[in-house]
Amino acid sequence: MLSKVQRTAALAAAVILWTSSAALAQKRYDTGASDTEIKIGNIMPYSGPASAYGVIGKTQQAYFDKINAEGGINGRKIKFISYDDGYSPPKTFEQARRLVESDEVLLIFNSLGTAPNTAIQKYMNSKKVPQLFVASGATKWNDTKNFPWTMGWQPSYQSEAHIYAKYLMKEKPDAKIGVLYQNDDFGKDYLKGLKDGLGAKASMITTEESYETSEPSIDGHIVKLKNAGVDVFISITTPKFAAQAIKKLAELDWHPMHIVSNVSASVGGVIKPAGFENSQGILSAAYAKDGADPQWDNDPGMKKFLDFLAKYYPDGNRLDGSTVYGYGVAQTLVKVLQMCGDDLTRENVMKQAASLKDFEPDTLLPGVKINTSPTNFALIEQLQMMRFKGEKWELFGPIISGELTN
């Protein structure tokens, strides 16, 4: 009797010992991760000039609520700590240090803006804390050699510009291109991409006009471009100015081939205010589905997104590109954390993020896939051209890669 109990106990002890030692061998954690929790830091401009983007952080919070309600990632709940920096770089720096040193997060995820992220890039890399999926289209986030702990997400401005260059060289090789660009990092990055994309044919750009965001109206620049006799008008503008340009072109009764950057391709934010009748035939490129476009209503991925909005973020607006964006990035992070398994070290997070293969978040266009490698941190490099017709964008042509290797 006694011996039987003893034997059972010994067996049980052996089993426990075996499983726990196996588990010990597998589970590895850095600061911010444990058996029950993964702490994710985030910095968003909830106040200040860029506060419209705060929706991204709110969408992500809601998405992680959903993941947690469904059981978390490999049994671990996500704790999402999101701070406000008011789009001021010194504040971003302070908040990043608070997240890393005081809240002790595993990584900082999708902090927003080019200047705020530049302010913390050096710090994050010297601390070896992942600065994952930076919310900015600047090309510099893909620098695996100098900043191996920083990674972007959306297509870089240069990738997108390459696609327009490819399209123009094919469809309109004798074009005289006029470029209107915003005089900041966004506009200049874009212009560089356009010139690199045209390569030897960069002389196709005959006129360049830049404007400051402080200018009340850009009408003068457009008149200049018209008088310069260009027949392709590329508008590297932010929403307010893109809408002004569309209106002014209609007013002047000038109809060149008109390309608008993806930043300003929002139907609700740009096209509608500028007038549908003025916007017919405008070209742009996209990588994500548009929440305003009814053609996606029966798309399984988009349905998941809409169900998510209805259940976890009822205040969220499907027409706002930021909700679609926030959902896609959050889904990518969850994918990476799932791939990490029980090895939740910062090093492994970067390793897994750099080995995404053909991953397709619900909200990206069919055929646009996320691929990374240890030497390529540019997640999304494919876009599809689209033309505005009626009251929505119509995608056309193949998915084009704007890869920056050439």
Partner 1 sequence: MSAAVEEVVTEGQAVEAVPKRAMTLGAGTSLVVLAILVLTPLVVKNFIIFQMTQVLIYGLAVLALNILTGGSGQFSLGQSAFYAIGAYTSAILMEQYGVNYALTLPVAGIICFAAGFLFGQPALRLSGVYLALATFALATAMPQLLKLGYFEKWTGGVQGLVVTKPDAPFGLPVSQDVWLYYFTLVITIAIYVGSVNLLRSRSGRAFMAIRDNEIAASSMGVNVALYKTLAFGVSAGITGIAGGLGAIAVQFVAPDSFTITFAIQLFLGMVVGGVGWLPGSIVGAAFIIFVPNIAESVSKGLSGAVFGVLLFLVIFLIPHGARQVAIVGQQLAARFRR
Query: Which residues contact partner 1 (rule: CB under 8 A)?
Result: 46-48, 82-84, 86-90, 93-94, 97-98, 101-102, 114-116, 118-119, 121-123, 183-185, 212, 214
Q: How far is the CB of 205 from partner 1 (least distance, A)?
A: 18
Residue 54: half-sphere exposure toward Cβ, Cα within 13 Å: 14
Considering the complex, state which of residue 104 and residue 343 has its C-beta at the smaller distance from partner 1: 104
Number of Cβ within 10 Å of residue 325's Cβ equals 21
Measured CA to CA, the distance from residue 166 to residue 201 in angstroms comes to: 11
Measured CA to CA, the distance from residue 103 to residue 96 in angstroms comes to: 10
Q: How far is the CB of 69 from partner 1 (least distance, A)?
A: 20
Considering the complex, state which of residue 88 and residue 352 has its C-beta at the smaller distance from partner 1: 88
Q: How far is the CB of 195 from partner 1 (least distance, A)?
A: 17
Considering the complex, state which of residue 81 and residue 249 has its C-beta at the smaller distance from partner 1: 81
Considering the complex, state which of residue 193 and residue 301 has its C-beta at the smaller distance from partner 1: 193
Q: How far is the CB of 185 from partner 1 (least distance, A)?
A: 5
Residue indicated by tokens 């193949």: 398
Measured CA to CA, the distance from residue 240 to residue 271 in angstroms comes to: 10
Q: How far is the CB of 175 from partner 1 (least distance, A)?
A: 27
Considering the complex, state which of residue 72 and residue 89 has its C-beta at the smaller distance from partner 1: 89
Helices (H), 70-201: 89-97, 114-127, 157-171, 185-198
CA angle 327, 331, 337 (to 5 degrees): 145
The three-state secondary structure class of 230 is coil
CA–centroid distance for 245 within its chain: 25
Q: How far is the CB of 23 from partner 1 (least distance, A)?
A: 32
Considering the complex, state which of residue 83 and residue 157 has its C-beta at the smaller distance from partner 1: 83
- CA-nearest of 140, 159, 55 to 371 is 159
